[in-house]
Amino acid sequence: MANTMTMTDNRTGKSWEFPILSGTKGPDVVDIGSFYSQTGMFTFDQGYTSTASCKSAITFIDGEKGELMHRGYDIAWLAENKKFLDVVYLLLYKKLPSKEELESFRLELKQRSYINEKMLKLFDALPDKAHPMAALQSTVAMMSAYYKRDMNIDDISDFMELAKRLVAKIPTIIAFYYRHVRGFPQIYPDLDRGFVENFLYMLRAFPHDRVDLKPIEVKAFEAVLLLHADHEQNASTSTVRAVGSTHAHPYASISAGIGALWGHAHGGANEGVIRQLEEIGTPERVDEFIARAKDKNDPFRLMGFGHRVYKNFDPRAKVLGKLRDQLIDEIGIDTNLIKVAKRIEEIALNDEYFVSRKLYPNVDFNSGLILKALGIPNEMFAAIFVMGRVPGWLSQWMEQKENAPVKITRPRQLYVGAVDQAK
Ligand code: CMC
Protein backbone atom coordinates (compact mmCIF):
# COMPACT_ATOMS: atom_id res chain seq x y z
CA MET A 1 0.00 0.00 0.00
CA ALA A 2 1.29 3.46 -0.87
CA ASN A 3 2.40 5.63 2.04
CA THR A 4 -0.30 8.25 2.32
CA MET A 5 -2.13 10.28 4.92
CA THR A 6 -5.87 10.64 4.71
CA MET A 7 -7.34 13.96 5.75
CA THR A 8 -11.04 14.30 6.39
CA ASP A 9 -13.10 17.48 6.55
CA ASN A 10 -15.42 16.74 9.48
CA ARG A 11 -17.88 19.35 8.25
CA THR A 12 -18.61 17.49 4.99
CA GLY A 13 -17.14 14.03 5.57
CA LYS A 14 -15.05 14.44 2.41
CA SER A 15 -11.58 12.78 2.47
CA TRP A 16 -8.35 13.29 0.52
CA GLU A 17 -5.11 11.33 0.35
CA PHE A 18 -1.67 12.93 0.48
CA PRO A 19 1.64 11.14 -0.15
CA ILE A 20 4.04 10.65 2.78
CA LEU A 21 7.69 11.14 1.81
CA SER A 22 10.68 9.76 3.72
CA GLY A 23 14.18 11.21 3.86
CA THR A 24 17.33 9.37 4.90
CA LYS A 25 16.86 10.48 8.53
CA GLY A 26 14.39 12.57 10.52
CA PRO A 27 10.62 12.88 10.50
CA ASP A 28 8.64 11.91 7.38
CA VAL A 29 6.75 14.68 5.62
CA VAL A 30 3.25 14.84 4.19
CA ASP A 31 3.42 16.25 0.66
CA ILE A 32 0.65 18.85 0.62
CA GLY A 33 1.71 20.42 -2.72
CA SER A 34 -1.73 19.55 -4.16
CA PHE A 35 -3.65 20.47 -0.99
CA TYR A 36 -5.20 23.66 -2.34
CA SER A 37 -6.06 22.24 -5.75
CA GLN A 38 -7.72 19.23 -4.11
CA THR A 39 -9.44 20.80 -1.11
CA GLY A 40 -9.78 24.50 -1.95
CA MET A 41 -8.16 25.27 1.44
CA PHE A 42 -4.72 26.43 2.53
CA THR A 43 -2.72 25.00 5.41
CA PHE A 44 -1.88 27.40 8.27
CA ASP A 45 1.50 27.21 10.06
CA GLN A 46 2.65 30.52 11.49
CA GLY A 47 6.46 30.59 11.84
CA TYR A 48 6.64 27.30 9.89
CA THR A 49 6.99 25.18 13.02
CA SER A 50 5.68 22.05 11.20
CA THR A 51 6.65 22.82 7.63
CA ALA A 52 9.54 21.43 5.59
CA SER A 53 10.16 24.07 2.92
CA CYS A 54 12.54 22.09 0.70
CA LYS A 55 14.47 18.84 0.20
CA SER A 56 18.08 19.23 1.28
CA ALA A 57 21.19 17.05 1.54
CA ILE A 58 23.36 19.58 3.37
CA THR A 59 22.59 19.68 7.09
CA PHE A 60 20.62 17.39 9.38
CA ILE A 61 19.37 18.37 12.85
CA ASP A 62 17.59 16.21 15.40
CA GLY A 63 16.55 18.78 17.98
CA GLU A 64 15.27 16.19 20.44
CA LYS A 65 18.60 14.35 20.52
CA GLY A 66 20.77 17.46 20.16
CA GLU A 67 22.24 16.11 16.90
CA LEU A 68 23.73 18.23 14.09
CA MET A 69 25.47 16.92 10.96
CA HIS A 70 26.86 18.52 7.81
CA ARG A 71 26.78 16.19 4.79
CA GLY A 72 26.66 13.25 7.21
CA TYR A 73 29.55 14.36 9.46
CA ASP A 74 28.73 14.93 13.13
CA ILE A 75 29.39 18.52 14.26
CA ALA A 76 31.36 17.52 17.37
CA TRP A 77 33.61 15.31 15.19
CA LEU A 78 34.11 18.16 12.70
CA ALA A 79 34.90 20.62 15.50
CA GLU A 80 37.41 18.24 17.04
CA ASN A 81 39.14 17.08 13.84
CA LYS A 82 38.69 19.74 11.15
CA LYS A 83 39.23 23.43 10.52
CA PHE A 84 36.69 26.03 9.44
CA LEU A 85 38.00 25.95 5.84
CA ASP A 86 37.51 22.15 5.66
CA VAL A 87 33.85 22.71 6.56
CA VAL A 88 33.51 25.56 4.03
CA TYR A 89 34.87 23.17 1.38
CA LEU A 90 32.58 20.36 2.59
CA LEU A 91 29.52 22.59 2.28
CA LEU A 92 30.43 23.96 -1.14
CA TYR A 93 32.03 20.89 -2.79
CA LYS A 94 30.01 18.19 -0.96
CA LYS A 95 33.13 16.35 0.28
CA LEU A 96 35.93 16.96 2.72
CA PRO A 97 39.10 18.21 0.98
CA SER A 98 42.38 16.31 0.75
CA LYS A 99 45.43 18.15 2.06
CA GLU A 100 46.28 19.32 -1.49
CA GLU A 101 42.70 20.39 -2.23
CA LEU A 102 42.57 22.39 1.00
CA GLU A 103 45.84 24.15 0.19
CA SER A 104 44.76 25.09 -3.32
CA PHE A 105 41.39 26.28 -1.92
CA ARG A 106 43.25 28.49 0.58
CA LEU A 107 45.31 29.95 -2.28
CA GLU A 108 42.18 30.62 -4.32
CA LEU A 109 40.70 32.47 -1.33
CA LYS A 110 43.94 34.35 -0.80
CA GLN A 111 43.79 35.68 -4.38
CA ARG A 112 40.22 36.84 -3.81
CA SER A 113 40.64 38.34 -0.33
CA TYR A 114 41.22 41.94 -1.52
CA ILE A 115 38.30 44.20 -2.38
CA ASN A 116 37.79 46.90 -4.97
CA GLU A 117 38.65 49.85 -2.77
CA LYS A 118 36.17 52.16 -4.46
CA MET A 119 33.62 50.30 -2.35
CA LEU A 120 35.22 51.74 0.79
CA LYS A 121 33.72 55.13 -0.09
CA LEU A 122 30.45 53.70 1.17
CA PHE A 123 31.93 53.65 4.67
CA ASP A 124 32.43 57.43 4.49
CA ALA A 125 28.77 57.86 3.61
CA LEU A 126 27.66 56.08 6.77
CA PRO A 127 27.12 58.12 9.94
CA ASP A 128 29.55 57.64 12.84
CA LYS A 129 28.87 54.51 14.85
CA ALA A 130 26.71 52.94 12.11
CA HIS A 131 26.25 49.28 12.99
CA PRO A 132 28.74 46.94 11.23
CA MET A 133 25.79 44.91 9.88
CA ALA A 134 24.55 48.04 8.03
CA ALA A 135 27.99 48.41 6.43
CA LEU A 136 28.27 44.70 5.63
CA GLN A 137 24.78 44.31 4.22
CA SER A 138 25.17 47.34 1.94
CA THR A 139 28.67 46.38 0.80
CA VAL A 140 27.60 42.85 -0.11
CA ALA A 141 24.57 44.19 -2.04
CA MET A 142 26.93 46.60 -3.81
CA MET A 143 29.24 43.76 -4.83
CA SER A 144 26.69 42.73 -7.51
CA ALA A 145 27.54 46.00 -9.25
CA TYR A 146 31.33 45.60 -8.89
CA TYR A 147 31.74 41.96 -9.86
CA LYS A 148 29.52 41.87 -12.92
CA ARG A 149 31.48 39.07 -14.56
CA ASP A 150 29.70 36.73 -12.15
CA MET A 151 26.27 37.74 -13.34
CA ASN A 152 25.39 34.49 -15.14
CA ILE A 153 23.45 33.02 -12.27
CA ASP A 154 22.31 30.05 -14.34
CA ASP A 155 25.84 28.69 -14.57
CA ILE A 156 26.78 26.74 -11.44
CA SER A 157 30.51 26.92 -12.21
CA ASP A 158 30.26 30.73 -12.35
CA PHE A 159 28.51 30.51 -9.03
CA MET A 160 31.55 28.79 -7.45
CA GLU A 161 33.70 31.76 -8.43
CA LEU A 162 31.23 34.06 -6.73
CA ALA A 163 31.09 31.79 -3.66
CA LYS A 164 34.89 31.90 -3.23
CA ARG A 165 34.82 35.64 -3.68
CA LEU A 166 32.25 36.12 -0.93
CA VAL A 167 33.93 33.74 1.54
CA ALA A 168 37.26 35.51 0.95
CA LYS A 169 36.07 39.13 0.94
CA ILE A 170 33.58 39.20 3.82
CA PRO A 171 36.31 39.02 6.54
CA THR A 172 38.17 41.84 4.74
CA ILE A 173 35.04 44.02 4.61
CA ILE A 174 34.33 43.45 8.31
CA ALA A 175 37.92 44.13 9.40
CA PHE A 176 38.23 47.19 7.12
CA TYR A 177 35.02 48.64 8.57
CA TYR A 178 36.23 47.98 12.13
CA ARG A 179 39.46 49.89 11.40
CA HIS A 180 37.69 52.64 9.41
CA VAL A 181 35.35 53.45 12.33
CA ARG A 182 38.34 53.76 14.67
CA GLY A 183 40.48 55.71 12.23
CA PHE A 184 43.15 52.99 12.28
CA PRO A 185 45.44 52.52 9.26
CA GLN A 186 44.09 49.73 7.07
CA ILE A 187 45.80 46.35 7.25
CA TYR A 188 45.63 44.16 4.15
CA PRO A 189 44.62 40.51 4.41
CA ASP A 190 47.40 37.95 4.75
CA LEU A 191 45.95 34.49 4.27
CA ASP A 192 49.40 32.92 4.55
CA ARG A 193 48.73 33.19 8.28
CA GLY A 194 45.72 30.92 7.85
CA PHE A 195 42.17 31.94 7.04
CA VAL A 196 41.00 32.28 10.65
CA GLU A 197 44.18 33.75 12.10
CA ASN A 198 44.19 36.35 9.32
CA PHE A 199 40.97 37.91 10.58
CA LEU A 200 42.24 38.36 14.14
CA TYR A 201 45.49 39.71 12.67
CA MET A 202 43.56 42.26 10.58
CA LEU A 203 41.76 43.50 13.69
CA ARG A 204 44.83 43.77 15.89
CA ALA A 205 47.78 44.64 13.65
CA PHE A 206 49.48 47.98 13.22
CA PRO A 207 52.03 48.69 10.48
CA HIS A 208 55.53 47.54 11.40
CA ASP A 209 54.28 45.96 14.61
CA ARG A 210 54.13 42.30 15.60
CA VAL A 211 50.89 40.51 16.36
CA ASP A 212 51.22 37.56 18.70
CA LEU A 213 48.10 35.47 18.81
CA LYS A 214 47.85 32.73 21.40
CA PRO A 215 46.98 29.30 19.92
CA ILE A 216 43.90 29.10 22.19
CA GLU A 217 42.61 32.38 20.73
CA VAL A 218 42.85 31.05 17.18
CA LYS A 219 41.36 27.69 18.23
CA ALA A 220 38.36 29.30 19.97
CA PHE A 221 37.69 31.71 17.09
CA GLU A 222 38.04 28.85 14.57
CA ALA A 223 35.41 26.89 16.55
CA VAL A 224 33.01 29.87 16.63
CA LEU A 225 33.14 30.12 12.82
CA LEU A 226 33.00 26.36 12.21
CA LEU A 227 30.01 25.87 14.52
CA HIS A 228 28.04 28.61 12.74
CA ALA A 229 28.73 27.38 9.19
CA ASP A 230 25.23 26.08 8.44
CA HIS A 231 22.03 25.27 10.29
CA GLU A 232 19.51 24.01 7.73
CA GLN A 233 16.39 26.12 7.05
CA ASN A 234 16.74 28.81 9.76
CA ALA A 235 15.34 32.33 9.20
CA SER A 236 18.33 33.77 7.33
CA THR A 237 18.87 30.66 5.17
CA SER A 238 15.17 30.59 4.31
CA THR A 239 15.51 34.28 3.37
CA VAL A 240 18.49 33.52 1.10
CA ARG A 241 16.48 30.75 -0.57
CA ALA A 242 13.34 32.93 -0.86
CA VAL A 243 15.23 35.80 -2.50
CA GLY A 244 17.12 33.28 -4.68
CA SER A 245 13.79 31.78 -5.79
CA THR A 246 12.92 35.08 -7.52
CA HIS A 247 16.11 34.69 -9.64
CA ALA A 248 17.64 37.72 -7.95
CA HIS A 249 21.42 37.84 -8.01
CA PRO A 250 23.17 35.75 -5.30
CA TYR A 251 24.80 38.89 -3.86
CA ALA A 252 21.27 40.26 -3.31
CA SER A 253 20.23 36.96 -1.72
CA ILE A 254 23.21 36.92 0.66
CA SER A 255 22.69 40.58 1.50
CA ALA A 256 19.07 39.79 2.42
CA GLY A 257 20.30 36.87 4.54
CA ILE A 258 22.55 39.31 6.43
CA GLY A 259 19.48 41.46 7.12
CA ALA A 260 17.55 38.46 8.46
CA LEU A 261 20.47 37.37 10.64
CA TRP A 262 20.75 40.80 12.25
CA GLY A 263 17.67 40.40 14.48
CA HIS A 264 18.22 39.59 18.16
CA ALA A 265 16.09 36.43 17.92
CA HIS A 266 18.67 35.11 15.43
CA GLY A 267 22.29 36.21 14.81
CA GLY A 268 21.99 39.35 16.90
CA ALA A 269 21.55 37.16 20.00
CA ASN A 270 25.24 36.89 20.93
CA GLU A 271 25.52 40.68 21.00
CA GLY A 272 22.38 40.69 23.15
CA VAL A 273 23.88 38.08 25.51
CA ILE A 274 26.82 40.31 26.42
CA ARG A 275 24.68 43.45 26.63
CA GLN A 276 22.38 41.61 29.01
CA LEU A 277 25.23 40.21 31.14
CA GLU A 278 26.67 43.74 31.39
CA GLU A 279 23.26 45.11 32.35
CA ILE A 280 22.87 42.46 35.08
CA GLY A 281 26.34 43.40 36.25
CA THR A 282 26.76 41.24 39.36
CA PRO A 283 25.82 37.64 40.26
CA GLU A 284 23.60 39.02 43.06
CA ARG A 285 21.26 40.61 40.48
CA VAL A 286 20.75 37.40 38.45
CA ASP A 287 17.65 36.28 40.40
CA GLU A 288 15.91 39.58 39.60
CA PHE A 289 16.44 39.04 35.84
CA ILE A 290 15.46 35.36 35.98
CA ALA A 291 12.20 36.49 37.61
CA ARG A 292 11.67 38.98 34.78
CA ALA A 293 12.31 36.24 32.16
CA LYS A 294 9.59 34.13 33.81
CA ASP A 295 7.06 36.95 34.12
CA LYS A 296 4.37 36.61 31.45
CA ASN A 297 3.71 40.36 31.60
CA ASP A 298 7.34 41.28 30.94
CA PRO A 299 8.64 40.94 27.35
CA PHE A 300 12.15 40.40 28.74
CA ARG A 301 13.85 37.19 27.52
CA LEU A 302 17.04 35.61 28.72
CA MET A 303 19.34 36.05 25.73
CA GLY A 304 21.27 32.95 24.66
CA PHE A 305 18.59 30.61 26.00
CA GLY A 306 16.08 28.57 24.00
CA HIS A 307 16.00 27.39 20.43
CA ARG A 308 13.27 26.65 17.95
CA VAL A 309 14.76 23.27 17.09
CA TYR A 310 16.96 22.08 20.00
CA LYS A 311 14.82 20.80 22.84
CA ASN A 312 17.51 18.84 24.68
CA PHE A 313 20.80 20.66 24.25
CA ASP A 314 22.51 22.64 21.52
CA PRO A 315 25.53 20.53 20.46
CA ARG A 316 27.31 23.70 19.31
CA ALA A 317 26.92 25.27 22.76
CA LYS A 318 28.44 22.13 24.31
CA VAL A 319 31.62 22.35 22.18
CA LEU A 320 31.94 26.09 22.78
CA GLY A 321 31.32 25.78 26.52
CA LYS A 322 34.55 23.79 26.96
CA LEU A 323 36.54 26.20 24.80
CA ARG A 324 35.07 29.19 26.61
CA ASP A 325 36.37 27.91 29.96
CA GLN A 326 39.77 27.02 28.46
CA LEU A 327 40.09 30.45 26.83
CA ILE A 328 39.05 32.30 29.96
CA ASP A 329 41.52 30.31 32.07
CA GLU A 330 44.36 31.07 29.67
CA ILE A 331 43.76 34.70 28.82
CA GLY A 332 41.38 36.04 31.46
CA ILE A 333 38.18 38.03 30.92
CA ASP A 334 36.07 40.45 32.96
CA THR A 335 35.51 37.96 35.79
CA ASN A 336 32.23 39.53 36.86
CA LEU A 337 30.77 38.88 33.44
CA ILE A 338 31.69 35.22 33.53
CA LYS A 339 30.45 34.91 37.12
CA VAL A 340 27.09 36.34 36.02
CA ALA A 341 26.99 33.94 33.04
CA LYS A 342 27.77 30.90 35.21
CA ARG A 343 25.15 31.91 37.78
CA ILE A 344 22.50 32.26 35.04
CA GLU A 345 23.42 28.84 33.64
CA GLU A 346 23.26 27.27 37.09
CA ILE A 347 19.84 28.73 37.94
CA ALA A 348 18.22 28.27 34.54
CA LEU A 349 19.33 24.65 34.15
CA ASN A 350 17.56 23.77 37.40
CA ASP A 351 14.56 26.09 37.32
CA GLU A 352 11.17 24.52 36.52
CA TYR A 353 10.24 27.34 34.09
CA PHE A 354 13.31 26.73 31.89
CA VAL A 355 13.41 22.94 32.34
CA SER A 356 9.74 22.41 31.45
CA ARG A 357 10.06 24.60 28.35
CA LYS A 358 13.33 22.92 27.40
CA LEU A 359 15.23 26.20 27.35
CA TYR A 360 18.96 25.45 27.34
CA PRO A 361 21.95 27.69 26.58
CA ASN A 362 22.23 28.00 22.80
CA VAL A 363 25.34 28.55 20.67
CA ASP A 364 25.16 32.31 21.14
CA PHE A 365 25.40 32.15 24.92
CA ASN A 366 28.97 30.90 24.65
CA SER A 367 30.04 32.46 21.34
CA GLY A 368 29.32 35.92 22.81
CA LEU A 369 31.56 35.21 25.79
CA ILE A 370 34.34 33.86 23.57
CA LEU A 371 34.24 36.89 21.26
CA LYS A 372 34.23 39.18 24.28
CA ALA A 373 37.27 37.35 25.71
CA LEU A 374 39.00 37.84 22.34
CA GLY A 375 38.55 41.58 22.79
CA ILE A 376 36.07 41.93 19.93
CA PRO A 377 33.50 44.69 20.52
CA ASN A 378 29.86 43.59 21.02
CA GLU A 379 28.55 45.31 17.90
CA MET A 380 30.84 43.14 15.71
CA PHE A 381 29.39 39.81 16.88
CA ALA A 382 26.59 39.47 14.33
CA ALA A 383 28.99 40.34 11.48
CA ILE A 384 31.27 37.54 12.69
CA PHE A 385 28.27 35.20 12.64
CA VAL A 386 27.86 36.20 8.97
CA MET A 387 31.49 35.28 8.30
CA GLY A 388 30.78 31.81 9.69
CA ARG A 389 27.37 31.36 8.05
CA VAL A 390 28.10 32.58 4.52
CA PRO A 391 29.33 29.15 3.25
CA GLY A 392 26.07 27.63 4.50
CA TRP A 393 23.96 30.23 2.70
CA LEU A 394 25.97 29.76 -0.49
CA SER A 395 25.63 25.97 -0.45
CA GLN A 396 21.87 26.27 0.20
CA TRP A 397 21.50 28.77 -2.67
CA MET A 398 23.42 26.41 -4.97
CA GLU A 399 21.39 23.37 -3.91
CA GLN A 400 18.16 25.22 -4.65
CA LYS A 401 19.48 26.03 -8.12
CA GLU A 402 20.63 22.44 -8.72
CA ASN A 403 17.16 21.17 -7.83
CA ALA A 404 15.68 23.25 -10.67
CA PRO A 405 13.09 24.19 -11.73
CA VAL A 406 13.10 26.60 -8.82
CA LYS A 407 9.60 27.40 -7.61
CA ILE A 408 9.21 30.98 -6.41
CA THR A 409 8.61 31.18 -2.64
CA ARG A 410 5.09 32.50 -2.38
CA PRO A 411 3.09 31.49 0.73
CA ARG A 412 -0.60 32.32 1.07
CA GLN A 413 -2.51 33.70 4.07
CA LEU A 414 -5.63 33.55 6.16
CA TYR A 415 -7.22 36.92 5.43
CA VAL A 416 -8.78 38.48 8.55
CA GLY A 417 -9.15 42.10 7.37
CA ALA A 418 -12.12 44.22 6.35
CA VAL A 419 -14.35 43.19 3.43
CA ASP A 420 -16.65 44.94 1.01
CA GLN A 421 -15.96 48.40 2.45
CA ALA A 422 -17.06 50.25 -0.70
CA LYS A 423 -20.46 48.58 -1.00
N1 CMC B 1 13.73 33.51 28.04
C2 CMC B 1 12.53 33.33 28.67
N3 CMC B 1 11.52 32.61 28.16
C4 CMC B 1 11.70 32.06 26.96
C5 CMC B 1 12.90 32.20 26.24
C6 CMC B 1 13.95 32.95 26.82
N7 CMC B 1 15.11 33.11 26.18
N8 CMC B 1 12.81 31.54 25.06
C9 CMC B 1 11.58 31.01 25.03
N10 CMC B 1 10.90 31.31 26.17
C11 CMC B 1 9.55 30.84 26.57
C12 CMC B 1 8.45 31.62 25.85
O13 CMC B 1 8.03 32.73 26.60
C14 CMC B 1 7.39 30.56 25.73
O15 CMC B 1 6.75 30.42 26.98
P16 CMC B 1 5.18 30.00 27.06
O17 CMC B 1 5.09 28.62 26.47
O18 CMC B 1 4.83 30.06 28.52
O19 CMC B 1 4.44 31.03 26.25
C20 CMC B 1 8.17 29.27 25.48
O21 CMC B 1 9.44 29.49 26.12
C22 CMC B 1 8.39 28.93 24.01
O23 CMC B 1 8.95 30.09 23.38
P24 CMC B 1 8.74 30.47 21.83
O25 CMC B 1 9.05 31.91 21.64
O26 CMC B 1 7.40 29.97 21.39
O27 CMC B 1 9.84 29.57 21.14
P28 CMC B 1 10.42 29.75 19.68
O29 CMC B 1 10.86 28.41 19.24
O30 CMC B 1 9.45 30.45 18.79
O31 CMC B 1 11.66 30.74 19.87
C32 CMC B 1 13.85 31.60 20.23
C33 CMC B 1 12.99 30.37 19.86
C34 CMC B 1 15.33 31.27 20.03
C35 CMC B 1 13.48 32.78 19.29
C36 CMC B 1 13.55 31.99 21.71
O37 CMC B 1 13.90 30.91 22.56
C38 CMC B 1 14.31 33.26 22.14
O39 CMC B 1 13.79 34.37 21.93
N40 CMC B 1 15.54 33.13 22.73
C41 CMC B 1 16.33 34.28 23.11
C42 CMC B 1 17.07 34.80 21.89
C43 CMC B 1 18.21 33.88 21.47
O44 CMC B 1 19.02 33.45 22.27
N45 CMC B 1 18.28 33.63 20.13
C46 CMC B 1 19.37 32.83 19.55
C47 CMC B 1 18.90 31.55 18.94
S48 CMC B 1 20.27 30.45 18.56
C49 CMC B 1 21.09 31.19 17.26
C50 CMC B 1 20.34 31.15 15.99
O51 CMC B 1 19.94 30.06 15.55
O52 CMC B 1 20.20 32.22 15.39
User: For residue 236, which atom of ligand 1 is closest to its CA?
Assistant: 52
- Ligand 1 pocket by C-beta < 6 Å: which residues? 231, 234, 265-267, 269, 293, 301-308, 357, 359, 362-364
| Residues 6+ away with beta carbon under 8 Å from 120 | 176, 180
What pLDDT shows up at residue 333? Answer: 66
| Residue with CA closest to ligand 1 atom 9 | 306
Query: Best substitution site from 296, 359, 366 to test ligand 1's pocket, by max atoms within 8 Å of Cβ?
Result: 359
319: closest CA among 96, 89, 77?
Answer: 77
Q: What is the pTM of this model?
A: 0.92
Contact 88, 196 (CB under 8 A): no
- Count, in order, helices (H) and strands (E) of the chain: 18, 6
- 360 close to 314: Cβ distance less than 8 angstroms: yes
User: For atom 17 of ligand 1, which residue has the closest CA?
Assistant: 357
- The protein residue whose alpha carbon is closest to atom 21 in ligand 1 is 357
- The catalytic residue among 150, 230, 314, 364 is 364
- Using CA positions, which residue lies closest to atom 41 of ligand 1? 303
- Catalytically annotated residue among 266, 307, 329, 351: 307
247 part of the active site: no
Distance of CA 315 to the CA centre of its chain: 15
User: 253 CB contacts (<8 Å, ≥6 apart)?
Assistant: 239, 240, 241, 243, 244, 393, 397
Residue nearest ligand 1's atom 52 by CA: 266
Output the CA 258–ligand 1 centroid distance in Å: 21
Q: What confidence score (pLDDT) does residue 268 get?
A: 87
Q: What's the confidence (pLDDT) of residue 337?
A: 86
CA of 320 to the centre of ligand 1 (A): 20
pLDDT of amino acid 199: 97
307 given a catalytic annotation: yes
Residue nearest ligand 1's atom 32 by CA? 307
The alpha carbon of 101 and the centre of ligand 1 are apart by a number of angstroms equal to 41
* Amino acid code (one letter) for 341: A
> Contact 226/370 with Cβ under 8 angstroms?
no
Closest-lying ligand 1 atom to the alpha carbon of residue 362: 48
- Supply the pLDDT for residue 198: 96
Is there a contact between 397 and 56 (Cβ–Cβ < 8 Å)? no
The per-residue pLDDT for 389 is 98
Using the mean position of ligand 1's atoms as its centre, give its distance from the Cα of residue 278 in Å: 20
Which segments in the chain show pLDDT lower than 50? Answer: none
- Distance from residue 70's CA to the centre of ligand 1 (Å): 24
CA distance 156 to 179: 35
Question: How far does residue 361's CA lie from ligand 1's centre (Å)?
Answer: 11
